[in-house]
Amino acid sequence: MAQKPSIPKGTRDFSPTEVAKRNYIFSTIKQVFEVYGFQPIETPSFEKSETLMGKYGEEGDRLIFKILNSGDYLKKVDDDLIASKDSLKVTTKISEKALRYDLTVPFARYVVQHQNELVFPFKRYQMQPVWRADRPQKGRFREFYQCDADVVGSQSLWQEVEFVQLYDAVFSKLKLIGTTIKLNNRKILAGITEIIGAKDKLIDFTVALDKLDKIGAEGVTKEMLSKGISEEAIHKVQPLFQFNGSNQDKLNQLQNLLEASEEGMQGVEDLRFVIANIESLGLQSATLELDVTLARGLNYYTGAIYEVIAPEGVKMGSIGGGGRYDDLTGIFGLHDMSGVGISFGLDRIYLVLEELHLFDEVALPKPKVLFINFGELEAAYCMKALIGLRNKGIKSELYPDSSKMKKQLNYANKRKIPFVVIVGENEINNGNYTLKNMQTGKQKVCTLEELLKITA
Amino acid sequence: MAQKPSIPKGTRDFSPTEVAKRNYIFSTIKQVFEVYGFQPIETPSFEKSETLMGKYGEEGDRLIFKILNSGDYLKKVDDDLIASKDSLKVTTKISEKALRYDLTVPFARYVVQHQNELVFPFKRYQMQPVWRADRPQKGRFREFYQCDADVVGSQSLWQEVEFVQLYDAVFSKLKLIGTTIKLNNRKILAGITEIIGAKDKLIDFTVALDKLDKIGAEGVTKEMLSKGISEEAIHKVQPLFQFNGSNQDKLNQLQNLLEASEEGMQGVEDLRFVIANIESLGLQSATLELDVTLARGLNYYTGAIYEVIAPEGVKMGSIGGGGRYDDLTGIFGLHDMSGVGISFGLDRIYLVLEELHLFDEVALPKPKVLFINFGELEAAYCMKALIGLRNKGIKSELYPDSSKMKKQLNYANKRKIPFVVIVGENEINNGNYTLKNMQTGKQKVCTLEELLKITA
């Protein structure tokens, strides 16, 4: 016998139950996106290589999956180049297309390409798979979905307020209570940079500061010193070592600390606006937390920076993130288009909902009613009833073969079908149906009308 | 300025309106699939090359998109092989993965790989994109969706009945009235083969016969003779030249014609069963038509063959098709698994619905309400109302910037947003809202409660 087939590493098959649970997350996010005025777009799975290459750094370029040209693709390649076996250079000759690496660059390409058809500010959402030739590991895949919402064409801080509300709305709808939405602003980080007098040390600085809980002020100071941050600089930002209290307290501390930095003060003002409005409008189930160590995608973001953390007790870390970027479409020649956007980490959200048993109420894609098949006459009688059930949207089916009753009931049990309808000569003569509740084992003779009612 | 970016030929961007219309078709099909007891699965976008290659014939192999191995993929390739520039052979050394070409082979792979977890008969549906390096032309793309439903593990004719009902249910739900579901059976074609005494001439025969309407009996005879079908054979199947009347009439004619072929008679019996049951159960809006010239996927199908034709007057041809295959999973070593399945041609259905204006009632993904932004105070007041609307699921948004009124109203007009809410000092003082109906131009001052009611 042939060897059992398998799939490429880092990819996954999804069973019906997994598809249903994933769709539950997708459709919840989608619903909230639309309620917030976002519209869906879709872009091709592969783009021209020139669209993607060089947009994600050297590491990113390496991780992009390239598609081989069709036909006799080697024919036109220079003999010497081929003989050199220089994979990098040969690639540009034998591959013109590449699989989408994220949704952001294709979105930027879309906006530039279709700029004359779009109404700005343009609010779009996109939920599509992306591919990365990463080393597969727990929770990291070579094919996975991204769920993004972005607005381009406005610098309004109201949108930064709205994305916090949107996160809260999605996670509340998913019954994932107790998430923390972390907020920072690139301008705050720029201000700190100014204060410590070292633009290039910012990441070292925030990474060290982030360890305060674990290694204490002394440990953090030691790490900062080892990274070449001067004692004087560390002294200047000492308040960040006791950075706590309410968001308002933190804002006041930042205001004092960053007084000397114009950009830093602008960051404080922006954060004040977002935080004050969120506090006045209220959130359903999330907590908004100002976190100056939040620096994700630092090279990229220019204003707000978001990250969502799973409820306490769930070891998962970030389940979403985003921020404002001032020149997204600039890479394709369209400048002065400020954008702000967020992303949901589908696979991680899935794991969290699974761990907290929050999928329990998701309707699985299985029939509610199975009609037992005793033969042609009985089956034909059942088919008439099936039409009635299906017209009412009740998921139902006839067992296709007139196999032994035991086999058919087994099928119902294995698929966890809650109702079974049994039709024999008696039922046909009397024009009714015997309905068996598979959980209680109880049977009841009923009319079609009753059948429709009970199984609805 | 940089050149405007573009996408690879044969691929498409989908605008919000297009996504909404496509999703309307997807969700209609999906809903009916589930009501009929089918469950969704998803498989990876790329499979191991060995899973796909050799499954679609030589032409298919050529049209499969191959993915280049990552890293220094040329390093391990034999120098002589490289120097040979034999693209076909080199491909097997530098590419291990390939993009899905259809949903059928991945489904077969899935069934074999997961056979121990599945309950048979296994009813699955799958709606995912596939990729083919075909020459792009009108209505033919390099990336497109397939929507398939299949059952494996049963030879029941009831399933052949159900797929006719399912087609009818989907197209009726889409309000696409007047489709024709053509039905044939491989055994009928095998019977004709026996009668004309030439197994290898079947395709020539059906292609010629199919032209009866256009070129008449004489033309068809001439074409058959030119293809090497003997005069005697043509004489034997003369009844097929006057093949018309009701499905019952046709069945009776076939019964006479195929008397000498055991397999042909089995085909007549199978068709009688399916047709009789469909006629007794009734269809909502489609017509079932026995068509002996229907031979799609001939090398593949072993029983029922289906094809759905768009309503008369729409030049589109087939919008769906399928059939029974007796050894789908055999290619992966699991034998004796009869399957039957159908497919919906999404892109063609889209074009037909567009042509017949059947998308008119599809809800487009745009906000229903826009709040005009007159400044921070007014916007903050509007945001409170927005929460109320959004909690009720009413798609709504605040214009992000306090731009000129005209610009904001322009935005509402361009996005065809039906309601605009205007809040100034008066409204804030009185705790109400001015609601403008953008179609009638009428304005009305109302409370939040009224606002929620009118825009719901």
Domain extent listing, chain A: 16-355, 369-455
- Of B79, B154, B414, which has the smallest distance from its Cβ to A400's Cβ? B154
N-to-C CA span, chain A: 46
> DSSP secondary structure string, A50-85?
HHHTTSSHHHHHHHSPEEEPSSSTTTTS-HHHHHHT
Tokens of B376: 């921070």
3-state secondary structure chain B: CCCCCCCCCCCCCECHHHHHHHHHHHHHHHHHHHHCCCEECECCCEEEHHHHCCCCHHHHHHHCCEECCCCCCCCCCCHHHHHHCCHHHHHHHHCCEEECCCCHHHHHHHHHHCCCCCCCCEEEEEEEEEECCCCCECCECCEEEEEEEEEECCCCHHHHHHHHHHHHHHHHHCCCCCCEEEEEEHHHHHHHHHHHCCHHHHHHHHHHHCCHHHHHHHHHHHHHHHCCCCHHHHHHCHHHHHCCCCHHHHHHHHHHHCCCCHHHHHHHHHHHHHHHHHHHHCCCCCEEEECCCCCCCCCCCCCEEEEEECCCCCCCCEEEEEEEECCHHHHHCCCCCCEEEEEECHHHHHHHHHHCCCCCCCCCCCCCEEECCCCHHHHHHHHHHHHHHHHCCCCEEECCCCCCHHHHHHHHHHCCCCEEEECCHHHHHHCCEEEEECCCCCEEEECHHHHHHHHC
- Chain B hits for A384, CB-CB cut-off 8 Å, are 281
Checking if the pLDDT of A138 tops 90, the result is: no
Contact (Cβ atoms closer than 8 angstroms) between residue A284 and residue A169:
yes
Q: In angstroms, rounded to a whole number, what is the distance separating the alpha carbons of residues A418 and A438?
A: 5
Residue in A closest to B21 by C-alpha: A40
pLDDT at residue B298, rounded to an integer: 62
Pairing of strands B396-398, B369-371: parallel
B319-345 burial, b if ≥16 CB within 10 A, otherwise e?
Answer: bbbbbbbbebbebbebeebbbbbbbbb
Task: Report whether A209 belongs to an annotated binding site.
Answer: no
Summarised one tens digit per residue, pLDDT across range A364-407 is 889 999 999 999 999 999 999 999 999 999 999 999 999 999 99
Pairing of strands A369-371, A396-398: parallel
Residues A19, B2: C-beta atoms closer than 8 Å? no
Residue in A closest to B98 by C-alpha: A67
pLDDT in tens, chain B (456 residues): 456 899 999 999 999 999 999 999 999 999 999 999 999 999 999 999 999 999 988 889 999 999 999 999 999 999 999 999 999 999 999 999 999 999 999 999 999 999 999 999 999 999 999 999 999 888 789 999 999 999 999 999 999 999 999 999 999 999 999 999 999 999 999 999 898 887 788 888 888 888 887 888 899 999 999 998 999 888 888 888 888 899 999 999 999 999 999 999 999 999 999 999 999 999 999 999 999 988 776 667 899 999 999 999 998 889 999 999 988 899 899 999 999 999 999 999 999 999 999 998 898 889 999 999 999 999 999 999 999 999 999 999 999 999 999 999 999 999 999 999 999 999 999 999 999 999 999 999 999 999 999 999
Mutate to test the interface with B, among A42, A135, A145, A327 (most CBs of B within 10 A): A42
When pLDDT is cut at 50, 70 and 90, the band that residue A1 belongs to is very low
> Is the Cβ of B135 closer than 8 Å to some Cβ of chain A?
no
Task: Report whether B137 belongs to an annotated binding site.
Answer: no
- Chain A hits for B332, CB-CB cut-off 8 Å, are 2, 4-5
Summarised one tens digit per residue, pLDDT across range A339-371 is 999 999 999 999 999 999 999 889 888 999 999
pLDDT at residue A238, rounded to an integer: 86
DSSP A328: G
Read off the pLDDT of each residue in A37-57 and give the average, rounded to a whole number.
Answer: 95
- Chain B hits for A154, CB-CB cut-off 8 Å, are 400-401
Integer-rounded Cα Rg, in Å, for chain B is 29
Instruction: Tell me the average pLDDT of chain A.
Output: 94
> Is the Cβ of B100 closer than 8 Å to some Cβ of chain A?
no
CA distances from B209 to B205, B212, B213, B224 (A): 6, 5, 9, 8
ipTM computed for the complex? 0.94
pLDDT at residue B2, rounded to an integer: 57
Checking if the pLDDT of A136 tops 90, the result is: no
Checking if the pLDDT of A122 tops 90, the result is: yes
- Of A85, A162, A281, which has the smallest distance from its Cβ to B74's Cβ? A85
Residues B44, A70: C-beta atoms closer than 8 Å? no
Q: In A, residues 7-26, which contact B (CB 8 Å cutoff)?
A: 7-8, 11-16, 19-20, 23
* Dihedral of alpha carbons A308, A309, A311, A312, sign: negative
- Of B6, B20, B85, which has the smallest distance from its Cβ to A82's Cβ? B85
pLDDT at residue A298, rounded to an integer: 61
pLDDT at residue B200, rounded to an integer: 83
Task: Report whether B146 belongs to an annotated binding site.
Answer: yes
The reply to whether CATH 3.40.50.1100 applies to domain B16-355 is no
pLDDT at residue B1, rounded to an integer: 45
CA distances from A155 to A174, A327, B379 (A): 30, 11, 15
- Chain A hits for B74, CB-CB cut-off 8 Å, are 85-87, 90
- Chain B hits for A63, CB-CB cut-off 8 Å, are 70
Please state, as a whole number, how many other Cβ atoms lie within 10 Å of the Cβ of residue A58. Answer: 8
Mutate to test the interface with B, among A74, A84, A162 (most CBs of B within 10 A): A74
Summarised one tens digit per residue, pLDDT across range A250-259 is 999 999 999 9
- Of B19, B48, B73, which has the smallest distance from its Cβ to A40's Cβ? B19
CA A23 to mean position of chain CA atoms: 12
pLDDT at residue B316, rounded to an integer: 87
> DSSP secondary structure string, A183-248?
EEEHHHHHHHHHHHT-GGGHHHHHHHHTTHHHHHHHHHHHHHHHTT--HHHHHHTGGGGG--S-HH
Contact (Cβ atoms closer than 8 angstroms) between residue A368 and residue A145:
no
CATH class of A369-455: alpha beta
Summarised one tens digit per residue, pLDDT across range A91-105 is 999 999 999 999 999
pLDDT at residue A310, rounded to an integer: 96
Nearest CA of chain B to the CA of A252: how many Å?
A: 22
- Select the highest-mean-pLDDT range: A2-16, A199-213, A230-244, B245-259: B245-259
Checking if the pLDDT of A452 tops 70, the result is: yes
Q: What is the CA angle B173-B35-A394, rounded to 5?
A: 105
